[in-house]
Structure 1
Amino acid sequence: MSATTIFPKTISPKTVSPKTISAKTLSPTTKSLSVTAGLLLSAFAATPAMAELDELRFGVPPWPGVTVKSEVAAQLLEAMGYETRQQDLAVSVILEGLTRNDLEIYLGGWYPVQTDMVEPLVADGKVEKVVSNIRGANSGLVVPQYVYDAGVTTVAELAEHRDRFDGEIQGIEAGTGINDAILNAIDNDLAGLGDWQLRESSTSAMLAQAEQKMADEEWVTFVGWEPHWMNVSFDLAYLADSDDAGVASIESTVWTITPASLADEAPEVHRFLSQYVIDIEDQNEWVHEYSYEDRPADEVAHEWIGNNLDTVAEWLDGVKTRDGESAIEQVRAQFDS
């Protein structure tokens, strides 16, 4: 399937006004926002790279998962004695900033979508893929858990119960990679989908329609992905793919990307980042609270850190603060209530 856009803007099924479309409503696989790279890079130039990395600068695309994930990391780094700054930028500009040492941290290297953008920079020794901070993120067709429990566990089994679904798959915006994959499966009669229809609409409309059907315990299949608040709000099951249709069981990985020089310039920061691996259920919860419940990212992050110091201790194992003290002890002192 396409390695460009898989999922579009992700909007809460609550009433949304145009001004609501922000970092809280966009998904990580949206094409980079249209920005003037020259203006943004000139903003970088106004802040020269710091030899001692007194300030750690995050590149943050407008995706809720990366927004909260960056905020959690920033609060931990601040407890370690670093200044941090988060800059909202398009992916292409973030990657350019990393190669110029104008940014230090990018937590949204979404593979396979960004593979062609990142791998040449890795091969040239300009950036480092430090760790996959989210592993095994799933995407593709989902059904309510009660449908899964009734025996629909694969894409091929949808066709066996076509009438229960009215022969329809609820999709997202036209032109997205997952929609194209579904249309290809229909056109080529893969997994028995030849006589099905794809209903393309906005993500918010798809989720609202699915929520209404689930409230009545009707059978419905639609496009799902994680991390996303839908996995917290709804009891969903991801279908297994059939006939290599490419419409289910699509696995993604999200990488932490830094300048190649970071390990030498800030070894303690690099060690923390190499251990900063988030459980996908935790990020689903972060996105739910930030994007669906409309809570500020700093509040979500601060509360989560205070309630999950055992997990934080794993991330900070062996890590020292800027002053050479135990990082986890500094964090405990600030967050343990």
Structure 2
Amino acid sequence: MKSLTTMILLASLTGASLSVQAADACSPVRMADPGWSDIAATNALAGLVLETMGYSAKVDSLAVPIIYGGLRDGQVDVFLGNWMPAQKGFDDQFIATGKVTRLAKNLEGTEFTLAVPDYVYAAGVHDFKDLNRFAEKFDRKVYGIGSGAPANQSIQDMIKKNDFDLGQWKLVESSEQAMLAEVDRAVKKQRFITFLGWTPHPMNVKLKMHYLTGGEAYFGDSGSVYTVTRNGYAQACPEVARFLSQMRFTLDMENAVMAEVVDKKISNGEAARAWLKAHPEVLEAWLKGVKTADGKEALPVVTKGL
């Protein structure tokens, strides 16, 4: 009997040791953020759950092309911001060719295209084809986000092809924050401006703005966002991958977290914790069948840990 008891104890200890070793091999979970408010929010939600499960999460700020290169080369584990169809070029280059793995859809119903303030819309700018009618008022400029962003490349293609008579226009590239600061300055002076807009994002609440029609060939109509990983990640870190594959967001969820950050001047982590504490029911779907780093059922551990 003692021998059997000893064997069971050793087996249990060995299993626990292997679980800890596997968890150690999967920590930190290396994530990426291109400097977008929505990805900062979703990274914070994912990171909080992962840390409560016993993993650490590390987020690096990287340009989109560097993120995909990092996923291909195994230097980045997870990216929650594969916006489609805006990132079709990267999808063709990395995902369709099998260099990066698409794990799951995490959001649907997104909008991502050029936008204008309400007074510009009221003046008659409703569609891409309306822009050049007011070229001088716009100073022939389109304000985009960080260099290398897929949406910027779409705008550059549009200008190069002289679509919508925009061949003489110029793309102004900057960070998301700098672009929105320029929009704020324009709005205060009631100056004409067109810029990249998307939802979910606090800009949809803060600004009185309208999305332009007509750019579907470049930006699609309604889009989706996917979670992508380096190849082999689901096999190497199955519990983390199972959680990430089940993690779904909504427009309202992301907008609420981002609005907390802006309105209350708090960190994304603080906003994510407050939202999850107020909506613990989402964890049931996110953590179905998922184990913590030390092999326990994740749902009760995470719920208690929040």
Measured against the shorter chain, the TM-score band is 0.5 to 0.7
Give me the CA root mean square deviation: 4.0
- C-alpha distance after superposition, 1:65-99 (max 9, x if no partner): 4344233212212333x22231526422343226x
SS at match of 1:61: strand
Q: Please say if 1:184 is aligned against 2:142.
A: no
Cα separation, partners in 2 of 1:267 and 1:199, compared to 1, 3 Å? closer
Return the alpha-carbon distance in structure 2 between the equivalents of residues 239 and 93 of structure 1: 34
**TM score, norm. by length of structure 2:** 0.67
1:140–1:223 contact (8 Å) kept in structure 2: yes
Q: Please say if 1:230 is aligned against 2:203.
A: yes
- Structure 1: tracts of 5 or more residues without a match: 1-49
CA deviation after TM superposition for structure 1 residue 293, in Å: 6.9
Return the alpha-carbon distance in structure 1 between the equivalents of residues 301 and 126 of structure 2: 47
The answer for the alignment partner of 2:7 in structure 1 is none
The answer for the alignment partner of 1:52 in structure 2 is 22
CA deviation after TM superposition for structure 1 residue 142, in Å: 0.3
> Rg larger in 1 or in 2?
2
Q: Please say if 1:200 is aligned against 2:165.
A: no
Q: Please say if 1:118 is aligned against 2:87.
A: no
Structure 2 counterpart of 1:210, one-letter code: V
1:138–1:225 contact (8 Å) kept in structure 2: yes
- C-alpha distance after superposition, 1:263-299 (max 9, x if no partner): 4455443332111122244335545655897633322
1:57–1:105 contact (8 Å) kept in structure 2: no
Structure having greater relative contact order (Cα 8 Å, sep ≥ 6): 2
Structure 2 counterpart of 1:93, one-letter code: G
- Structure 2: tracts of 5 or more residues without a match: 1-19
Taking the TM superposition and a 5 Å limit, the aligned residue runs for 1:158-307 are 158=131, 162=134, 165=137, 168-172=140-144, 176-184=152-160, 188=162, 190-191=163-164, 193=166, 197-198=169-170, 200=172, 202-203=174-175, 206-215=179-188, 219-241=192-214, 244=217, 246=218, 249=220, 253-287=224-258, 295-307=266-278
1:112–1:252 contact (8 Å) kept in structure 2: no
Structure 1 counterpart of 2:156, one-letter code: D
Report the identity percentage: 27
**TM score, norm. by length of structure 1:** 0.62
SS at match of 2:197: strand
Aligned residues: 271
Cα separation, partners in 2 of 1:119 and 1:51, compared to 1, 3 Å? farther
Return the alpha-carbon distance in structure 2 between the equivalents of residues 294 and 113 of structure 1: 36
Structure 2 counterpart of 1:84, one-letter code: S
Greater helix fraction, Structure 1 or Structure 2: 2
SS at match of 1:240: coil
CA deviation after TM superposition for structure 1 residue 155, in Å: 1.6
CA deviation after TM superposition for structure 1 residue 154, in Å: 1.9
CA deviation after TM superposition for structure 1 residue 198, in Å: 3.9
SS at match of 2:74: helix
Structure 2 counterpart of 1:53, one-letter code: A
Return the alpha-carbon distance in structure 1 between the equivalents of residues 247 and 116 of structure 2: 32
Return the alpha-carbon distance in structure 2 between the equivalents of residues 181 and 317 of structure 1: 44
Q: Please say if 1:95 is aligned against 2:95.
A: no
